[in-house]
Structure 1
Amino acid sequence: MSTKTTSLASELRCLEYFLALQAHRDPQKLAEEALSILLRDFGATAGSLLYTGPPSVHARQGDFPAAVAAHLDRWEEGIAQRIADGPWRISPKKALAPALRPLEGTPYAVLYALILNGPQVAGSISLVFPRQQAPGNKERLLLGRLLYAFGNAVRIIGELSITQERLSQLSLFYQVAQSMSSTLDLHKVLSDTTQLATAVLDASAVVLMLVDEKTQELVFEYASGEIGRRLRRQRTPLGAGIAGWVATHGEPVLVNNAREDPRFSDLVDTRTGFLTRSVICAPIQVRGKTIGVLEALNKRNNQGFDEEDLRLIVTTANQAALAIENARLYQSLREERDRIIQAQENVRRQVARNLHDGTVQFLSAISMGIDHLERLLEVKPEAALAELDALRRLTHQATRQARLALFELRPLILETQGLGPALEAYVEQLQNSETFNVHLEMDDDLPELDRSVAATIFAIAQEAVNNAKKHASARDVWLRLSTKGDWLQLIVEDNGVGFDTQEIEAKYDRLGSIGLLNMRERAELIDGHIQIESNTTPPNSGTRVILQAPIRPPARPAARG
């Protein structure tokens, strides 16, 4: 047979083997199948394949005497170390010429070939033969081609495996994003996130912990995987263990030998019976503040977590942070909506109460007075004028009550003339309708305020006066408005019975009234703050509500060019 024919036959045989191996999609199984083919078709008694990856693969088949196994161990450790030291490049021609070396002190010879990843060495294949059955030059040439082909097959399948893993990771991100966009249920989003991360990271468990600011602890809020139930709701001190270190330092960590790491704590392992071997952990941060951590435990394979896993968990932690922030914003909006609805309901009740206790009572009295007047005109006409005067007074009082109710609902003067004139009008209305004395003291040079700020300050003044009217039994109420530098100060003071501020605030949620809460929340809307002082000891009894808010001038429309 000619050299050309022999070469063609060798290439066809290599192609046949190569195509047979392409059916495998798992690098480890492919390596084992490659060794099986070589041992079966070329009479080798044993073989070993090392591919440093990623993903890393190591397979051995056949009978290994102790001396041969020890030699191959040393050989492959040397190959792995040389690759780890830096790029190791050789030409494909050299890779196609495997070296056959007798193994001293044994009846065996070993055929060595290098696996390439592009121009770089990525591993080796070693075949063991009895010396008398060592392949000749032609067989070695064919073996060289086969080993080169097998090495390429391992590399290609390895790259395909990585691609599939990355597709799985992208699928995780997509599913998490879908979950986040389809619901604002934080529990469902984070529970789904931990479960998906467990599958993609191939971990025994993934745990999401949140920081409890009050107790300075990490709380295992969500846990998935085979031991997830044992970990859920566990607590650890904020600075304890690898998770605690990540929470306090805000940096991700990868540890594949947890018990050798000085940051590791076996506190949770002791409680649950779980044995932590490997850990990757990333901080969950919202606007630069760490609010929790996402931690994966115990990679299922023996290789441990890698940098790709760390990048994945960091990205997942960032998505979890986004989900938490969105859910908290949504919850805040719902609470704000509920407060607005409650405030509207309170206004309706107050208007109803004011109309019932004031205007409606006067109208009822007027109605009865008219009936009485009709009877007087029949039996005692000379008394009708006095009754008319009484009805006129009741009508005036009813009118004042109605105007005060309308003014409190929407003081138009506040929109047209500002806070100072609105308070003057409000005090005038109170003086004409209330039994207590109302006093107003204001600086002469009050600044012009933004309309929303002025409306908020006016609403706080109304709330404070209404509280005094309902609870204080005061003879006098003072409203004082002044400026102190860049701050505006409103004081509403009465000389009523006063109250115990600590007691009221301690059981505020059980009282059913939200007056003080309304004032505080309104103050926060304009970046101000409320201070409440009260004394129950005569003759100095009474209450002072002090509002301080930054002065904001009204927004001016942009000039047109």
Structure 2
Amino acid sequence: MNSQKAAPHEQFWAHKSGGAPPKKLALPRIPLPVVVLRTLPGELRASCYTEFVGNLSPRMSPHQNDRSHFERQIVVARPILILLALLAALEQPPSREAHRSASFLIAYLIVALIVTQIERLLRRRSWHLPLVCDLLALGFFMFTSPSTVPVWFPYMFICYAAGIRWGFDLTLPLAGVLSLILVFLTAVKGEIHWMRVVSWLGLTMGTFAGGAGLAFLGDRNRRFSSQIEFFSRINATMQVDQGLAESLRLFLQEMAVTFDAEEALLLYRDSDLERIFLWRMKAGESERLVPESMPLSRTDGFLLDDMDAAICWNSLVGPGSGFGWDRRDGRSIKNLPRLPGPVQQELKVRSLLTVAFDQGGQSAGRIFLLNGRKPFQKQDLAWLEDIAQHIGPALENTFLLRHLRARAIEAERSRIARDLHDGILQTLLSIEIQLDVLRRRVPATPEQASHALANLQQTVKNEAAELRQTVTDLRPLRVQSADLVDLMRGFAERYRNESTVALDLLIDSTQLRAPDRVCREVFQIYREALNNIKKHAKASHVVVKLSQDDSRLVLVVDDNGEGFSFAGRFTGDELDRLRLGPISIKERSRTVGGILTVESNPGHGARLTIEVPLG
């Protein structure tokens, strides 16, 4: 026996709440078709699109803080509307029924005020008066009130509160039933004549419209909050500290669950590296994602040559079954692009949903959802397009950080290779040449050979010490603000002992207050700058000054050596354009948002200044 599978938004609800969603919590269908909506011009299209996507987005549970905010609205609205109903009841002519209904409303008002205080005391336990109690009170008041005018106020309250708690789909029939009961009681009590059909219908529609409008308002607030919370959760997956692979794993996993797809993919086109990177995440997996690298020649194989198309294929067999539109103007695409046969077989694609995402105003890649457990609909594609629009900046920041880290790693490797080449490799080559000469001279001049061997032994010791220091410098370094001054002074002491360069270290304050990552990078810049001076600048004196004020941390390294090959004062960006300056130091200063300035006077030294804002 075939059973119909739950819709993507229902699967999402069940996944997040731990249980099945209410059967009648399906999303309301907006009568405006997607194609018509996307052909509307300008701001009207944008406004309608926001309304459309807001109503068709997957149903999500509001964040706990937002839920508490909505419950406070209900708690405050209850006594206010009861008070309005009481004032309306007191306007009625004196009678036994009017006195009884007023007494009931007074008691109801007292209970509402007590409930307000109780819910305030029990807010940590999230206790709230069940809405069924208000429904029972409304039912009793309907049949006891001599007039239906006071009944409108608790009726409006019920509709608004039910819209928040139960959603629009459940509240709409409830509002219809209650409005029919109200109009029926009005007719029975003789306030309208049975023959006045037009008035009866108008009163019915007005009552229903008022209740439905308040229900929609409550449900709309709930949905808007849920949408914001969903986008916040999606953006939270893009954490720079956890790295690109883990961020994309969490994001793609969330996408697969939300749309009830078997697999989620993200393709990124890196123009600098001239490569395409593919991350694949199967639903339910938790392994670390390793991207597949492909040449740009495979662009057309993943629809990267038509980045403006939002596409859905529910079937790729034969002519297939699908739909899509151009994201620039919303016009429907008649000839839908489709994945080539080899790619379909490689990914085992039966159905797909795909949209593009941007970086810096340019199309950068695509998000794919493969093999949905039920056919995708137009609202699913619109919702995915909205998600891609919101996640674009977070993805851009994550990829930018990855790019900066890659450049920093490349620069660090280049520096290490350069140091090894200029240092120990040159020394080893010199030792090899001297040993060859000594091998020939030992029989003839053993005393000179012995002296030369002693010099070589000392050279090897010096190089071993330098290599040991290089290895020490490569180890991960943890620097806190409280330790920065001591580390700088300790390194300065070793520097004076191991080199012929005179070093003056000037620190304005011993109470530095800066983030640990800033302190770490500043120390690395300080250490690398001094090592570069020792190896390349041929300086006899260097002055280092570290200072801090309320807004910035400043490091200045000034030497009297040969300076750089260029003359003048340049910023880090200007040095990048000219392909000049210390690469690793430029990358480290950029990592912490610092401003690098290099002043060079060939033959007379150089000054390096790094200003790190402490915002």
TM-score by length of 2: 0.37
Larger Rg: 1
Higher relative contact order (CA closer than 8 Å, sequence separation 6+): 2
Question: If the length of structure 1 is used for normalisation, what is the TM-score?
Answer: 0.40
Q: Which protein has the bigger strand share?
A: 1
